[in-house]
Structure 1
Amino acid sequence: MVKTSPFGSVNGKPVTLLTLSDNTGTQVELLSLGAAIRSIVVPDRCGTLTDICLGYDSPGEYWEQDACFGGIIGRCANRIAGASFSLNGQEWQLTANEGVNHLHGGTEGFHRRHWEFLWGDSFVTFIRSSLHLEEGYPGLLQVEVTYTLRDGCLGIYYRAHSDRDTVVNLTNHAYFNLAGHTGGPVDDHMLTVRASRYTPCREDNIPTGELQDVAGTPLDLRCGVRLGDRLETPLLTATRGFDHNLVLDMPTGAPEASPAATLWCPSSGIGMEVCTTLEGIQIYTAGFLTPRDGKGGVRYGPRHAVCLETQHFPDAVHHAGFPSPILRAGEEYRHFTKYRFFVKTESICKRGSLVSPCPAI
């Protein structure tokens, strides 16, 4: 079921709040500004409905504040070195909005744009046209992002095509706190990521082009770790915790058969599985999130959330050994990510029970 309501305006344009709900009690609020996730409400182990997504109470905050809360990131998520790339023998200069580099689509990336939308019983589709040379990118890019909610599983489906060769790398920048958006630091959260390698970076967070083994490093999350036990390790000092792209061990069958990541909170019992067709996942524990007021006046700050951003590798356009982010004219960009929410008790967790994979959508 989908409900719509006004959510104020930005720059003279109205913003619409769209609410998806399903038979499990799960409810997801979406905004036409940034095609953003504003809230995700799920039952905890006691059945109490809990909002597990950081967000704001007004559209102006989404427009003015950094952090990209819940927004769709594009045309290219993460970083592009030197804010430029060469394609078909031509150099394309992008907006430099992180020093000399390009980050999250530029100063007015997709998360700060108004989107058109349509909806049905269990889905909302956001649509926009990214014009040729928007933030410096070549090509008129037509983008669709569809959110679905069924049986406690939130799906995000990305589609795009362009009239000329371009670079595309889309993700969602939701900030999760499974104790609730009021829960403070996520040090007690347990995180498992099925990734045997990562992309090491220079000091400016631009990948070197290597793929290194996570074994013996704080980035080895394959057996599950308590976040607070890793966030203070020396390798993570410069990034104030996790802010790293991990190379997913892609399943041989359907992505739903083997979740890429699992996050679980012992205080609430709420858990989340992540399934995706994309090859990378940026793990970010919000170390650079400056103190600010969020929904209901709740004070957010560093380490108050975990972002699990499925995407192509950072700066992939400059590294021939990485999967390519280039979308050729006439071809279709098509990927998805699904978040399946579940609840389990601490005693079950200690016995090492496995949760079932995401149901098919």
Structure 2
Amino acid sequence: MEFYTLENKNGLKLKLTNFGGIVSEIHVPDRDGKMADITLGFDTIDEYVDHNDAYFGALIGRYGNRIGGCKFPLDGKEIGGLYTNSGEADHLHGGKVGFDKVEWTAEEVSGDGYTGVKLSYTSVDGEEGYPGKLDCTVVYKLTDDNEWVIEYEAVTDKPTVFNPTNHAYFNLAGHDGASPTNHEMLINAAFYTPTDDGGIPTGEILSVEGSDMDFREARVYGETIDSEESYISRLGGYDHNWILDKQYGELGLAAIAYDPVSGREMKCFTTEPGVQFYGGNFLDGSLTGKGGKVYNKREGFCLETQHFPDSPNKGHFPATTLRPGEVFKSKTVYRFGVR
């Protein structure tokens, strides 16, 4: 296991490891050109192996987010016995040893206007309870357009479900800077999927209109993260899936985060139908990260591009089934700039 460092012609730098496909550093400039590392994480691979319960920077799979009851139907059969690691009965982020905790084969790649690393992993039939041998590749690119590009591809030899994502935590003030709850957030979504107390979607699709879930116009998200609205307060803040206002499969805008102090801006684009905006509610000061920084509650946020949580149990949600002969492809782009 080792680290790989990508750098573009503008001086932006991205550091990753083939353990868990973890992105450990992202260095971008502020409006005055001062560089800062804007993602939470650890200094060493051993710390990621031993202490990354928060999934800092990690690839998530086979199924990002939650599956209710640790089971789901597939072609008339019940697939059960998934690992319980969310509350007392639910499955989270691929299980006990998901994509975030395995060693990927790494190959350095480059092309016109980018450098990158291609990560490959074969998840054997039955791993973490999921059917089918799944061959997966993920390519991380850092482009000269100041973009971090993630390209996912996978095939299977049996029908299965698949919903990968990346769990980077961002703070545009710097990973050790002021709280990102002062950031402005825009989410390109008129609807979201409310959940029960355990974060499992109820199956409803609700409008954001008139609620504190409405980020169609940019606003400081910390002003409503402690909202008393039930679907926010029951989760202790923002940890929800928004249904993006774009055509599924086409690369379109998911969200824009902006730090008015530093001027750093991050735009997120994806081919996925949803994005999980997570405000770091479960960070609690128990993790000491890079340079001795203690990560307290809400000191990082995530924009996890995805299919919806618990989709295998919600027939009206976009399907996550992958079958033999099909090729899963997905792309997400984080574009960095300043104002």
Relative to the length of structure 2, the TM-score reads 0.94
Q: Does 2:217 match 1:223?
A: yes
- State whether residues 185 and 302 of structure 1, in contact with CA within 8 Å, keep that contact through their aligned partners in structure 2: no
Alignment match, 1:206: 200
C-alpha distance 139-155 of structure 1, shift in aligned 2 (>3 A): same
- State whether residues 184 and 300 of structure 1, in contact with CA within 8 Å, keep that contact through their aligned partners in structure 2: no
Deviation at 1:230, TM superposition (A): 1.1
* Counterpart Cα distance in 2 of 1:252 and 1:312: 10
Q: Does 2:110 match 1:117?
A: no
Alignment match, 1:72: 59
Please list the CA deviations of residues 145-185 of structure 1 after superposition, one character each: whole Å capped at 9, or x if unmatched: 00111120110000001000000000000000000000142
- Paired amino acid for 1:148: K
* Counterpart Cα distance in 2 of 1:56 and 1:176: 14
- Paired amino acid for 1:100: A
Q: Does 2:26 match 1:40?
A: yes
* Counterpart Cα distance in 2 of 1:253 and 1:138: 25
Deviation at 1:76, TM superposition (A): 0.2
Which of 279, 282, 290 is matched with 1:288 structurally?
Answer: 282
Stretches of structure 2 lacking an aligned partner (at least 5 in a row): none
Which of 90, 97, 112 is matched with 1:101 structurally?
Answer: 90
Alignment match, 1:179: 173
- Paired amino acid for 1:239: L
Alignment match, 1:249: 245
- State whether residues 200 and 210 of structure 1, in contact with CA within 8 Å, keep that contact through their aligned partners in structure 2: yes
Alignment match, 2:68: 81
Alignment match, 1:53: 39
- State whether residues 186 and 255 of structure 2, in contact with CA within 8 Å, keep that contact through their aligned partners in structure 1: yes
C-alpha distance 145-21 of structure 1, shift in aligned 2 (>3 A): same
* Counterpart Cα distance in 1 of 2:304 and 2:32: 29
Which of 315, 321, 325 is matched with 2:316 structurally?
Answer: 321
* Counterpart Cα distance in 2 of 1:289 and 1:254: 33
Deviation at 1:252, TM superposition (A): 8.8
Which of 3, 18, 25 is matched with 2:4 structurally?
Answer: 18
- Paired amino acid for 1:137: Y
* Counterpart Cα distance in 2 of 1:136 and 1:20: 35
Alignment match, 1:62: 48
* Counterpart Cα distance in 2 of 1:239 and 1:100: 16
Aligned runs of 1:332-343 on 2, under 5 Å?
332-343=327-338
Q: Give secondary structure in 2 for the equivalent of 1:317.
A: helix
Q: Give secondary structure in 1 for the equivalent of 2:2.
A: strand
* Counterpart Cα distance in 2 of 1:40 and 1:49: 10
Deviation at 1:103, TM superposition (A): 0.3
C-alpha distance 164-176 of structure 1, shift in aligned 2 (>3 A): same
Q: Does 2:294 match 1:299?
A: yes
Q: Does 2:177 match 1:145?
A: no
Relative to the length of structure 1, the TM-score reads 0.89
Deviation at 1:88, TM superposition (A): 1.7
Deviation at 1:241, TM superposition (A): 1.7
Q: Does 2:221 match 1:234?
A: no
Q: Give secondary structure in 2 for the equivalent of 1:259.
A: strand
Please list the CA deviations of residues 234-292 of structure 1 after superposition, one character each: whole Å capped at 9, or x if unmatched: 1222322210100000159952xx52210000111110000000001000010111212
**CA-based RMSD:** 1.3
Deviation at 1:90, TM superposition (A): 2.2
- Paired amino acid for 2:44: S
* Counterpart Cα distance in 1 of 2:95 and 2:78: 17
- Paired amino acid for 1:315: D
- State whether residues 73 and 171 of structure 1, in contact with CA within 8 Å, keep that contact through their aligned partners in structure 2: yes
* Counterpart Cα distance in 2 of 1:54 and 1:323: 31
Aligned runs of 1:119-134 on 2, under 5 Å?
119-121=108-110, 122-134=115-127
